[in-house]
Amino acid sequence: HAKDMGRNGFQFFSPEMNRAAMERLDIERQLRDALKLDQFALHYQPRLDRNGRVTGVEALIRWNRPGHGLQPPGRFIPIAEESDLIILIGEWVLATAAAQLVAWQKAGIEMPSVAINLSARQLRLAGLPGQIAAVLQDSRLPAALLEFEVTETMAMENPERASRLLGELRDMGIALAIDDFGTGYSSLAYLKRLPFDHLKIDRSFVAGIAHDQNDVAIVRGTIALAHSLGLTVVAEGVETAEQLALLKSADCDEFQGFHFSRPLPADELEVFLGKHSQTPTPP
């Protein structure tokens, strides 16, 4: 637009766009040092079954960005995804989650599984299964303690390659989940060819179920179909008791969301686990 142009007519970016581009460059530059400066942290969000038992946690990365405070992944993962930085970050996440599992084992804290989010670039790495196997061996952890989450969009980018790599992980005894289900354009008919164990319903549908009959229909249909394909279903973004009740009546298997707990640093999660094991909700 003409109004976005400067006096000389050669300014293609509005001041806001310039600011956004500068900010992005800034993040990119700072991200490159973040690993060696130890600025990343994992927070853990519990997932519960219908009886209120914790079935595992999801590891969610945060970045303690100098001068900006704790940043959610949405602020930096997409930028890291544009270079090999995401591979290094992915390795850090894997190593840190494994170390945390070992620490919990040593402390006698029962943790059935830790779920790790994979990036699109990691899913293209033929060496990923080997890398994961090495981490498991070094930490002497059983593969069954690890789970990986992949969005349907990532899996559909190159279904053959994804199928091969995910198959290798599955063969190692690692559980796999389709993340953010419903936000992409894939069909369950196609996804069933991939070796998934769990399906996570995107929180945008969960957000609507208390007032939108379409979302209720989508959630019920997805759960029924997923079950018929042998997948267990996790609802993400459960924020209210009403949503939980509706999801339970739709036969949903597991639940994750602020209604139970936000993602927490490991020590705070331990407090949650301690409190929670004393007050299990009846079936």
Restricting to residues 199-218, name those near ligand C2E by CB under 6 A: 203
Stretch of residues binding Mg ion (CB under 5 A), selected from 82-90, 93-101, 187-195, 230-238:
230-238
Stretch of residues binding ligand C2E (CB under 6 A), selected from 66-74, 128-136, 213-221, 273-281:
66-74
Stretch of residues binding ligand C2E (CB under 6 A), selected from 1-9, 13-21, 162-170, 234-242:
234-242
What distances in angstroms separate CA 207 from CA 56, 123, 150, 204, 246, one per listed residue? 22, 29, 21, 5, 11
Q: What 3-state class would DSSP assign to 189?
A: helix
Stretch of residues binding ligand C2E (CB under 6 A), selected from 1-9, 181-189, 252-260, 270-278:
252-260
CB 225 within 8 A of CB 190: no
* Interface with Mg ion, residue 100, by CB under 5 A: no
CA–CA separation, 148 vs 191, rounded Å?
16
- The DSSP code for 264 is B
* Interface with Mg ion, residue 147, by CB under 5 A: no
CA–CA separation, 220 vs 92, rounded Å?
37
User: What is the full DSSP assignment across 126-153?
Assistant: TTHHHHHHHHHHHHT--GGGEEEEEEHH
Rule CB under 5 A: choose which of 47, 61, 118, 180 binds Mg ion: 180
Rule CB under 5 A: choose which of 149, 152, 215, 253 binds Mg ion: 149
Rule CB under 6 A: choose which of 9, 67, 69, 74 binds ligand C2E: 74
Distance between terminal CA atoms of the chain? 60
| DSSP bridge partners of 48 | 54, 255
**Cβ closest to ligand C2E, residue 17 vs residue 126:** 126
Contacts of 202 (CB under 8 A, 6+ apart): 180, 181, 182, 183, 236, 237
* Interface with ligand C2E, residue 77, by CB under 6 A: yes
* Interface with ligand C2E, residue 257, by CB under 6 A: yes
Shortest spacing between CB 201 and Mg ion, in angstroms: 9
| Cα 37 off chain centre by | 24
**Cβ closest to ligand C2E, residue 14 vs residue 276:** 276
* Interface with Mg ion, residue 152, by CB under 5 A: no
Q: Which residues bind ligand C2E (CB under 6 A)?
A: 45, 60-61, 72-74, 77, 93, 117, 119, 149, 179-180, 203, 236-239, 256-258, 263
Q: Which residues bind Mg ion (CB under 5 A)?
A: 117, 149, 179-180, 236
